[in-house]
Structures are given as structure tokens and as C-alpha cells.
Amino acid sequence: MGEDSVDPLREPPVRSIESRDGAIVIELAGELDLYNAPELRAGLARALAGATGRIVVDLSSVDFIDSTALGVLIEARAQRDGGGDLRLAAPQLETRRTLQVSGLDRRLPVHDTVDDALA
């Protein structure tokens, strides 16, 4: 499988991008890793383009996240004018552990639910 090809057995990493309560909510899903990092990066860039309010990254449907995908989240934070208001929401247990072990939970706010992140 080439670098630009899509694995038909894997769901796209960006499930949806929607405006909600004055914020942009990006729902991510499946396995976020080296193989779909370019697609993840492009999806986050689309959501961040011209966004001035809060950005909430919904991780509730993420089964796995690796260091490459964590790097993409850090890049997204950096694109928010020195950090901006980028929040992570609803990580499952394994994703939450990865955020804690990597220290990313100290660089980005992590909320238990999307509603909490929107508040």
C-alpha cells in the first residue's frame, strides 16, 4: 500500500467537523497513528483554518493514538497563535493513559466530555 493510499479496512481519522455552541468540534475516530497522520493533519488544518473561537477535539471514538498522532495534536495547538483555545475531550481509558504518559495532558486541557470542554 502506497503512502497516499487509504486502507479500506480503517475508518478515516476525522469523522466530522461541526460548529457547536460557538466552537468547532472535531470528532476523531479509530486508530490515530503514523499511517493516517497526514489525513489527521489535513483534517485539523481544515478545522483550524479561519477558526477564531474554541476548538474541541472529541476523542471519544478513538481506540488508539501513537506518538505521531500526538505530534499532530501539538502542531495543531501551535497553529492556534501560541496555543489558543484547543481542548481535548472524552478520551477513552487507553487514550487518556497515553496523554498522561506523554505529558500532553499538561500542555492541552483534557475534559471528561465534549459538553465540559464547550462550557
pLDDT tens, position by position, 28-48: 999 999 999 999 999 999 988
Residue 55: strand, helix, or coil: strand
Q: What are the residue boundaries of the structural domains of the chain, listed by start?
A: 14-110
CATH top-level class of 14-110: alpha beta
Mean of pLDDT values over 92-113: 96
Confidence of residue 22 (pLDDT cuts 50, 70, 90): confident
The average pLDDT across 47-62 equals 90
Q: pLDDT at residue 58 above 70? A: yes
Q: How confident is the model at residue 86 (pLDDT cuts 50, 70, 90)?
A: very high
Distance CA 56, CA 109 (A): 10
Distance CA 2, CA 98 (A): 28
Whether the model pTM is above 0.85: yes
- How high is the pLDDT of residue 6? 55
Asked if residue 2 has pLDDT above 90, the reply is no
